A = this chain, B = another copy of it.
Amino acid sequence: MKLFEPLDIGGTLIRNRIMVPAMVTRLSGEDGFVNQDITNRYVRYAQGGAGLIVIEAMAVHHAKAGPLLRISDDRFIPGLAGLAQCIHDTSDSKVVPQIIHFMKVSKSGWRQTIDMLSNAEIDRIVEEFGDAVARAREAKFDGAELHSAHAYTLASFLSRTNPRKDEYGGETLEGRLRLISRIFENIRRKVGKDFPVGVRFLADEFIKDGYTVNDAKLIGLRLAQLGAAYLSLSVGGKFEDAIHLPGQVPYPYTGYSGDRCMPGDWYPAVPHAHFSAEIKAFVKAHGFNTPVATAGKISDPDDAERLLSTGAVDIIGIARGLLADPDWPHKVRQNERERIVKCDYCNVCKHLDGAHMKVVCALWPQGALQAPPDDRQSPAPGWDTTGANLTVSASDGKAVLKWNKATGAARYDVCRTDPLGKVEVMDAVKVTRWEDHNLLAGMPYCYQIRAFGAAGQGGASSNMVTVRLPVLDSEIVRFF
């Protein structure tokens, strides 16, 4: 599989094309130092075999924030070096920190915007990013990633809504690109050209008047010209459409752009990779082979492989899917796809982040702070002699499924066969009840439940049941 071919990113070789994109964990203390919980989280990804692990955003500056890693001072280097060391000791996964600058936000809903920054403050940001990358190198990371996506400072400069009237905005693309260009130049001066520095930025802002892939192609080209080790694309996640809840700091993933950034279960799979493909094609047409990473509701290995084998992108970012199961890479490589703990895009992880709580996966065992080990000894779950006894009833426009508990089950996958014979895993649940609200009356849908153990070991499948919702108004059925 192309998925397991190595790739050179700015002089560093990653062993496969699977990337853990930066995901906030809320596991650090407010002091910003690396701790054991964070170390365990990232070591777990290294055990699972991801080619590139991007450590959650760490601040290049000292601004107040909740639990957030820091790289804003030399005193953070030993902790970061320890983290990098632990990951390197675990496997040959490469690891880079995502480094971030953000503006102030307050519980009143007020937020500092980039037009409030003086030129001296901008100069300081340039220095802060350069110093942070130098620290990342000193801590023996394999590179660094500039966070120029979502709601944060660098993305706000790149934004089509950049309100500055001076040479850092001025309604021109070049103005919007000036800060990131200066930052790159300063990084090169401070740490040289041989330390890989990737950039994460938005393929589409998904806000009113925001930029589209048209601008993203030009931004990507400029970053390639500047020598970016890779381009990692995300979308949305802006403050502009955030919903402010009284007494809470605005959270940039609450609006529509937040829906797009972490598309939930009602979105189709792989909704954004075509943007990355367009950007890659554009950059390549201009003579740059800068690797391009995509992300967003990708977890089917076939989808990932298709994106790589067609040359659409070079690296597959899997955030929620790898949170659910860090062993995804090993399981795919060893042809054990059935053992993958499949993310159901319930977004409990996102909501935990929004509530400033420790980010875990709802599919992990209750109370677990990390994904369970890849246990190959425990028996697969199964139903006892009474069987699964899956039943379905149809009423009020929905189908209600119920089944028996299986011994040793950590979760149940709900599989549905639609009227055309297409089989789909609709959801993954811990309880023994599930409702289907998205079916058409008068047509047959077939369901089956499968029980899984905590490490993904697949157990027995239930009996199959079929349901056909009654047509609400008898007159309508005549026209079917």
Contact = CB atoms under 8 A, between A and B. Distances in A.
Interface of A: 160, 167, 170-175, 177-178, 181-182, 184-185, 188-189, 193, 206-215, 218, 221-222, 225-227, 241, 243, 254-259, 266-268, 271, 285-286, 396-398, 419-420, 437-442, 469, 472-473, 475-476, 479-480
Contact of A225 (B213, B472, B479): B479
Contacts of A226: 476, 479
A174 B439 contact: yes
Most B Cβ at <10 Å: residue of A160, A241, A441: A441
What number of copies of this chain does the assembly contain? 2
Contact of A256 (B256, B419, B441, B469): B256
Nearest to A174: B397
Contacts of A210: 256
Contacts of A472: 167, 174, 178, 181
Contacts of A177: 440
Nearest to A208: B256
A285 B177 CA distance: 47
Contacts of A174: 397-398, 439-441, 469, 472
Contact of A212 (B170, B225, B266): B266
B476 A182 contact: yes
Given A268-B214, A397-B175, A438-B215, A185 B476 contact: yes
Given A174-B441, A397-B175, A420-B285, A479 B215 contact: no
Given A185-B479, A475-B185, A208 B438 contact: no
26 contacts: A167-B397, A170-B396, A172-B398, A172-B437, A173-B438, A173-B439, A174-B397, A174-B440, A174-B441, A174-B469, A181-B473, A189-B475, A206-B256, A208-B243, A209-B259, A211-B266, A214-B266, A214-B267, A214-B268, A218-B438, A221-B440, A222-B440, A225-B479, A227-B479, A241-B241, A285-B420
A420 to B, nearest CB: 6
B476 A255 contact: no
A402 to B, nearest CB: 18
A227 B476 CA distance: 10
A189 B173 CA distance: 58
